[in-house]
Structure 1
Amino acid sequence: MTKLKRTIGFGGLISLGAGGVIGSSWIYTNSQFFKAYGAGGEIFGLIIAAILAVMVSLSFAELSTIFTKSGGEVVYAYAAFGKRGALFAGWALIGAYLSILAFFVTASSLLIAYLFPEIATGPAYSFAGVKVHFWELIIGVSITLLVFGINYFGARLTGNVQLVLLMGLLILGATLVIVGFTQGQLDHFWPAFYSHQNSLSSTIRFVLPAMTFLTGWESVAIMAEEAHLNKRLIGKVVVFSIVIAAGYYILVLMSSALIFPWKQTATLTMGTIDAFKAAGFPLLGTFAFIISFLGLATSFLTLFAATPRLIFALARGRMLPAGLAKVHPKYGTPTNALWLVLVLVLGIGWLGKGALIYFLDIGGFLIALAWSFNALSLFKIRRAHPELKAGFHVKHPIFPAIGGLFAFSVAALTLIPGTPISLVWPYEYVVLGIWMILGVIGFLTSRHAKPAPDDFLGETRQSSSKSR
């Protein structure tokens, strides 16, 4: 059985998209980012990244209404460039998602340790100069297993859980924004940079980690096969998801910069959480803390749902071992792919909090690469198959083109040493190199496999024959 069940409704799908973007670390690491880039660097960088993401999302929105098959960009790239394109796109997104999921393993225990400091004591090991205590790791692994279990028992359950969590996020976030904007002061935020900083380079430098913060909405396209919605609405959900999440990020971070001087927040431990407490709103500091938990849960759930679907799509298209395309007969989930993701996430998740920047940077690079490639796939498919009709049609293709070009430029600059957004030498280059080598091995071992089955692209399978 290789057919997934259509069990996700509108609320579940938009919750997976928007909730998958709204993560955890952004609300407490803004103290670190304020210190490194200034409040302006983080907030303005997020705005630029959000505009970029919306532009890129247009290509996903259109293609998701032509090819409503599990795997999203894997399927689009196959239609445009054949097996090589599908492997390239899938490997980039899988690598990006795994890097974020690996961070979540110990990020969950980091939040719990804020309430119960005793778990951050006792036996420990170090990575990148940061200790990971065994109790922290045990808690993180336990939460990872819980997320795995929710995903294992079906997309409907995952979507319903996400909907409840997203509603909590929106209510708590709205409270912070209202208080921050009504009780805060503009001179707490402005000037938005340190006097010694270059405002432009600081802003551009934050675009890379911001792209990691803004990922997860692609899950709408990846899980389109399981959505019980008309095609046009699926395309709209793709775009709405990033708009909702980006607006949430920007407004909540801005409220923390208004309620308490950002330069002082930069010296605190838990960013927005401590900022509201220091400003005399301890209850809202607790709200921000709860947001971090809910955000971790929503992102964790969404990316843990999307990653095995990418693997499943590659396997169903005969680009990975066929066993990874197995679907549970009762729950309709890609069980073997889910188990593989669990093993991979736990296998690298032990690196801990010291790998935060590494995970964000590598994830940002791979996301930029995947976004730019999807925009290219849209133009290739439009040119090669003008007869295909999309439920969601982009009237002005210049916008996804600009988004794709910008994303590619960001990806290229990360590989060039000495630029404001270069990867960290040597660690991030080594990890990226290993992932690329694994991708090449995957391609070489599958290049003699049979072509993808006729139904790989769904109703439009016959129109892609020229590309294979």
Structure 2
Amino acid sequence: MGETGPRKRREDEKSIQSDEPKTTSLQKEVGLFSGTCIIVGTIIGSGIFISPKSVLRNTEAVGPCLILWAACGVLATLGALCFAELGTMITKSGGEYPYLMEAFGPIPAYLFSWTSLVVMKPSSFAIICLSFSEYVAAPFYSGCEPPQVVVKFLAAAAIWLITIVNALSVRLGSYVQNFFTAAKLVIVAIIIVSGIVLLAQGNTRNFEQSFEGAKISVGAISLAFYNGLWAYDGWNQLNYITEELRNPFRNLPLAIIIGITLVTVSYILINIAYFTVMTPTELLQSQAVAVTFGDRVLYPASWIVPVFVAFSAIGAANGTCFTAGRLIYVAAREGHMLKVLSYISVRRLTPAPAIIFYGIIATIYIIPGDINSLVNYFSFAAWLFYGMTVLGLIVMRFTKKELERPIKVPIVIPILVTLIAVFLVLAPIITEPAWEYLYCVLFILSGLIFYFFFVYHKFAWAQKISKPVTMHLQMLMEAVPPEKDPE
């Protein structure tokens, strides 16, 4: 026992002095605090500063609006508990991808990776960075809207700054996440504390008769949920980096419960704060709800609000990039994407090719991108696969009984989440049909064509195209395949 320490040090020194590289696999660098910061940092982004108007527009009253924000938090918590069981039962990175693979086989898993790669994740990244750029540009164009060229240029700059940071280092990405999470909690605390002070001073008139004029139609409720849940999106992000999470059986559920509870309470209190200084009509007419709040409450220090809102958006974008790159990495490792996307940087030990590819797709989205259309497009596709994934949990209770389940939620929870997901997918189509939903379905199904040619049959001509591309990209990025797949 006494010689173990010195011998170990000598071996370590010899290893350092040798030319052998570190094991080229993802490193367990993320602890409970960083994991909680990833959840909070990814969820609290631009959503809480954009969605209140849309939620109120569809409910048309303060009372139902606040109830819906709480209901969205409950749904996110129930969904996250289902994902906690999946994440500790199948300890692979990639979120929904390995779960769908285990429950339903390669085709649903491939369709998810295809849709997530080209619709959900990059559109989410683009939405957040567009929101960031609008808040950054607004002070320089007082009294008018910033030019779209300026907004999109700033959004592209934000995308590539975050992409480079996450491609360079897992630890650097975590540090950036922790910093911006702390910064966004500052603005959240400022708004909440200001709201509590105003309530204590008797500013409660907007909460009187708070259910008068409320909408109760199925279509209005479903669209309100779409916008509210957009602000909560990110509740499942920690499942994308399970392989890099220290002690996942303990830290995954703890980070989920702590993070989502913090977010839900914060969102309700922020909305209450908004209504202490704005009537529903004033809130709907506001160009930027948080900025209007700051102008009325914090003047002459109202400049704090757009600065910290921008920090909040950057933190959310960083968390999205950090986790989404792992989805592409895992899908490519399974042979469902270009092989080079499953490679790891020799120098940095990060899935750099996957992260860079993700940045390219997100940049394409901001060119024609409109925030509202991107939110609807994203939400429809997201809840289609959230529901399918939770349904897979129910299926595996019967088909994969041998799998160890360190966390096992009551079966009623995944059943309830699946039914709500079906409602969220079908209700907007039935009550307010739009071409966007049809386009989204057709686009998802078009992934079967690529699966048939490049994955299932692997035709020789497809291999001739992909091999030289993989070789040149591998040399350019100094990336190699991981030495071993996780058990």
What TM-score does the superposition give when structure 1 sets the normalisation length? Answer: 0.85
SS at match of 2:388: helix
1:117 counterpart residue number:
141
Correspondence 1:27 to 2:49 = yes
CA RMSD of aligned residues (A): 2.8
Cα distance between partner residues in 2 of 1:120 and 1:337:
39
CA 333–192 in structure 1, closer or farther in 2 if over 3 Å, else same: farther
- Residue in structure 2 matched with residue 125 of structure 1 by the alignment: none
Report how far residue 233 of structure 1 moved. 1.9
Please point out which of 96, 105, 116 is paired with 2:120.
96
What amino acid does structure 2 have at the position aligned with 1:229? N
Distance 1:251-1:16 versus aligned 2 partners, 3 A rule: same
Aligned in 2, Cα 1:290/1:406: closer, same or farther, shift over 3 Å? same
Matched residues in 1 for 2:342 and 2:143: separation? 39
Q: Helix, strand or coil: the match of 1:65? A: helix
CA distance in 1, matches of 2:249, 2:52: 38
Separation in 1, partners of 2:293, 2:142: 24
Alignment of 1:198-347 (within 5 A): 198=216, 202-278=220-296, 280-282=297-299, 285-347=302-364
Aligned 8 A contact 2:54 2:227 in 1: no
Structure 1 residue matching 2:404: 3-state secondary structure: coil
Deviation at 1:381, TM superposition (A): 2.1
| Matching residue of 1:78 | 101
Counterpart residue identity of residue 26, structure 1: I
Give the Å deviation of 1:32: 5.3
Unaligned runs of 5+ in 2: 1-22, 460-481
Structure 1 residues 283, 388: CA separation in 2 closer, same or farther (over 3 Å shift)?
A: farther
Matched, 1:442 2:478: no
Q: CA deviation at 1:51?
A: 1.4
Residue 432 (1) aligns with residue 446 (2)? no
Q: CA deviation at 1:116?
A: 0.9
Given the alignment, which residue of 87, 106, 109 partners 1:64? 87
**Counterpart secondary structure, 2:344:** coil
Aligned partners of 2:427 and 2:285: how far apart in 1? 30
Equivalent pair of 2:167/2:356 in contact (CA under 8 Å): no
Check whether the contact 1:371–1:407 (CA below 8 A) recurs between aligned residues. yes
Q: Aligned residue pairs: how many?
A: 437
1:401 partner letter: I
For residues 303-323 of structure 1, give each alpha carbon's deviation from its aligned partner in whole angstroms, at most 9, with x where no partner exists: 112222111111111122212
The answer on whether the counterparts of 1:99 and 1:363 sit within 8 Å (CA) in structure 2 is yes
* 1:235–1:195 distance in 2 versus 1, CA, 3 Å: closer
How big is the shift at 1:224? 0.9
- Between the aligned partners of 2:300 and 2:70, the Cα distance in structure 1 is 28
Q: Are the aligned partners of 2:32 and 2:254 in contact in 1 as well (CA < 8 Å)? A: no
- 2:26 equivalent to 1:4: yes
Residues 138-159 of structure 1: CA deviation (Å, up to 9, x unaligned) = 2221111111111111222111
Tell whether the 8 Å contact from 2:30 to 2:174 is kept in structure 1 after alignment: yes
For 2:217 and 2:400, the matched residues in 1 are separated by 44
Cα deviation, 1:399-437, whole Å, max 9, x if unaligned, reads 122012211221122333xx1xx45x33x2364145314
Q: Secondary structure at the match of 2:89?
A: coil
The equivalences for 1:94-173 within 5 A come to 94=117, 95-117=119-141, 132-173=147-188
Name 1:410's counterpart in structure 2. 424
1:464 is matched with: none
Which residue in the other structure is 1:186 paired with? Answer: 204
Report the identity percentage: 19
* Structure 1 letter corresponding to 2:159: T
Work out whether residues 108 and 140 of structure 1, in 8 Å CA contact, stay in contact via their aligned partners in 2. yes
Alignment CA distance shift 1:36-1:406 (3 Å) = closer
Describe the superposition over 1:114-173 as per-residue Cα deviations: whole angstroms up to 9, x where unpaired: 11118988xxxxxxxxx8532222222111111111111122211121112112222331
In 2, the alpha carbon distance for the partners of 1:46 and 1:439 equals 34
> Larger radius of gyration, structure 1 or 2?
2
